Structure 1
Amino acid sequence: MEVITGGFHADFPMGDPSRVGEARRHAAQLSADCGLDDVEAGRLAIIVTELGTNLLRHASGGRLLLSPRPGRREVEVIAIDRGPGIPDLERSLNDGFSTGGTPGTGLGAVRRLADDFDIHSSQPQGTIVLARVRSAASPRDASARVCTGAVSLAAPGEIVCGDAWAFALDGARAALLVADGLGHGPDAAEAATQAVAVFAEEPLGGPRRLLERTHARLRATRGAAVSLMLADAEAGTLRIAGAGNVLGRVVSGVEDRTLLTQHGTAGLAMRSPEETAAVWPAHALVVLCSDGIETRWKPEQLRPVLERDPAIAAALLARDHCRGRDDATVAVLRRKD
């Protein structure tokens, strides 16, 4: 079994050239934190430089998001923008094609240098590029039949995020947690961090049991809205329990189902936990969003990215539906092809 946790995404708006260097320096620190060697850290630096410079020169509202995955010994980079989109995506991905004369010579080089790479672009909405660099010694579990992605952003002006997420992968089974500490800032982050700690102790123990334990652990904190899910890719089933306004949805080409949880706040006031079951249709994404994300997004937005890396779907929702005044998290599950 593999438990995946990660920090929130540091957000670098590409407003001027100095932000590229700032993002590259932050990437160097994340490389050290995640145990990347000099060659791996160098690959990450080129990716950050290339994506940041492309955003600066060719995109509107471009931002670079960087996040560590210490347990996996990898660093994730997501470039997002608000247009104009890439008219010829295949050509832009040819290695050696450069739109700005940058050191890596284009998106093709980013794809070549990254251990994981994915991209989605639409006109005029914009482009999302995902790249991950990981250590050759990464303990990543390749036998898992579920893939995951998450984007977590701190509230404006905060240096920590009051939301947290975690995944656990065990063959066809996957567990998922999203916790939203009340308010934002360090105290909210402490509540969310404690929820992750409970999850990591026994992530496949069942959502109701985990919610009960989380409620008890969070009594010493300001409390959190929490949703916990256990998914089975082979059986096509979901079990979910939660307290508070972390929204769950199941979205496919023909499906859009909301996963309801009870009112309350883990650690403060909560009824006896109730666990509900739902079907996980083939080719459907399972999405959990904290209340920093608008609830009324349309399922049609995700349908073009149903087969992409789940982090692309998470970034798309964060780009288009972040309320901009609170911590915001989107976590996504998808069956592997």
Structure 2
Amino acid sequence: MTRVWDVSVGDSTLVRRAREAVEEAAVAAGLNPARAGDAALTATELATNAVKYAGGGRIVAEVARDDWGNARALQILALDHGPGILDVDRAMADGYSTGGSLGSGLGACARACDHFEVDSVPGRGTLALARIAAPEHRGRFSGPAVTGGLHLPLGGHPESGDGLAFRSGSGHRTVMLADGLGHGAAAAEASDAAAGTVRRQAGEPPEALLRLLHAELRSTRGAAVAVVDIDESAHRLTFCGVGNVGARLHSNGRWETLLSQPGIVGAFGLRTPVPQRRAWNRGDMLVLHTDGLPSRWSPEGIEGMVTRDAALIAGRVFRDAGSAARPLRDDTAVAVALHTERFDGKRA
């Protein structure tokens, strides 16, 4: 199941709680003591910065997978709605500080992590993404991920009722986001069953996967599910969804909403899934989200982050869709898929 460590850091007394939560998450990710220490250092720095400069924020830790589903890493995402950082590059340099400290915080985090990125918009807040892997898997997490996301369970529950799964192979990338009916352990059971099935059967057409998932989820309460197949050699994206998982595609300079058909996968009868096919080219972006995200959310402007890490973009979507004062109304998950060739011509 998707285990999430989500800690709100409103004052300095909660920094220790964030560190302890990340230490627990590091064990779940299979990190050795040295790498777990790097994770604890990173969490402490990010939580301290959120309190000192933004008046508070949240630290979200979970286990992330590589594109082939064979390696795991600890993912830490720090979010705040503070004043932002005017010059991120300068803030990352050792010796820079606006708070009278030695000024090595963000730079120390970057050195401790396999991948570390900061996104900050003055007046809207700051995001920091850290990924830390076991020594044998560090190379698989050393750059920006082209597929990733985050999970936020309702009410601080340790398990998310939403589930993201993705896997690459045979020239195809399969991405699935499931929203288990309701929330809590039973919802997590449904989304986890969907994720496990997709990891085993990745590469099947989305409509075939949905039919398979409908059978596999019969013993659960069911889920809303969106499945995507990306075939970059054919410049094609195929989407198929059932239920209320949202999908926004940015391609050819504009955003398009991809609609799912009504229903619940694993419950009652399933209408024949109808796939939607779209072009998929360099610079395109797909955002999937469960219904915990406010309906008023607009993707406009997110396309400017196309060269950034997919999970960092997902964090921006979540952060900008709400406010520090707005509590979650349901389990929330956001997933982002990017073209493997970025605008700078480099291949991820």
- TM-score past 0.5 threshold: yes
1:54 to 49, 69, 80: 49
Work out the CA distance in 1 between the residues paired with 2:218 and 2:139: 34
* Residue matched to 1:213: 212
Whether 1:332 and 2:302 are equivalent positions in the alignment is no
Sequence identity percentage: 36
* Residue matched to 2:345: none
Work out the CA distance in 1 between the residues paired with 2:94 and 2:305: 23
Amino acid in the other structure paired with 1:40:
R
* Residue matched to 2:279: 279
Deviation at 1:225, TM superposition (A): 0.2
Verify the 8 A CA contact 1:99 1:106 in the aligned structure 2.
no
Let me know the Cα RMSD of the aligned residues. Answer: 2.4
SS of residue in 2 equivalent to 1:299: coil
SS of residue in 2 equivalent to 1:212: helix
How many residue pairs were aligned?
A: 332
* Residue matched to 1:233: 232
SS of residue in 1 equivalent to 2:86: coil
SS of residue in 1 equivalent to 2:203: coil
Flag structure 2 segments of 5+ consecutive residues without an equivalent: 343-348
Distance 1:61 1:178, change over 3 A: same
SS of residue in 2 equivalent to 1:313: helix
Work out the CA distance in 2 between the residues paired with 1:118 and 1:145: 9
Deviation at 1:148, TM superposition (A): 1.2
Work out the CA distance in 1 between the residues paired with 2:175 and 2:83: 34
Verify the 8 A CA contact 2:283 2:339 in the aligned structure 1.
yes
Work out the CA distance in 1 between the residues paired with 2:170 and 2:139: 13
Written as runs of structure 1 = structure 2, the 5 A alignment for 1:131-150 is 131-138=130-137, 147-150=146-149
* Residue matched to 1:3: none
Work out the CA distance in 2 between the residues paired with 1:18 and 1:120: 25
* Residue matched to 1:69: 64
* Residue matched to 2:346: none
SS of residue in 2 equivalent to 1:228: strand
* Residue matched to 1:153: 152
Work out the CA distance in 1 between the residues paired with 2:112 and 2:100: 17
Verify the 8 A CA contact 1:60 1:84 in the aligned structure 2.
no
The one-character-per-residue Cα deviations of 1:74-110 (angstroms, maximum 9, x if unpaired) are 1111111102011222210102334446688221221
The one-character-per-residue Cα deviations of 1:154-202 (angstroms, maximum 9, x if unpaired) are 0125332111111102375211010001111111111111111211221
Amino acid in the other structure paired with 1:183:
G
Verify the 8 A CA contact 1:175 1:204 in the aligned structure 2.
yes
Verify the 8 A CA contact 1:227 1:240 in the aligned structure 2.
yes
More moved, 278-287 vs 63-72: 63-72
Verify the 8 A CA contact 1:199 1:210 in the aligned structure 2.
yes
Work out the CA distance in 2 between the residues paired with 1:139 and 1:57: 31
TM-score (norm 2): 0.88
SS of residue in 2 equivalent to 1:175: strand
Deviation at 1:281, TM superposition (A): 3.3
Work out the CA distance in 1 between the residues paired with 2:294 and 2:223: 18
* Residue matched to 2:163: 164
Written as runs of structure 1 = structure 2, the 5 A alignment for 1:185-204 is 185-204=184-203
Deviation at 1:298, TM superposition (A): 2.5
Work out the CA distance in 1 between the residues paired with 2:145 and 2:275: 22
Amino acid in the other structure paired with 1:287:
V
SS of residue in 2 equivalent to 1:118: strand
Work out the CA distance in 2 between the residues paired with 1:55 and 1:63: 8
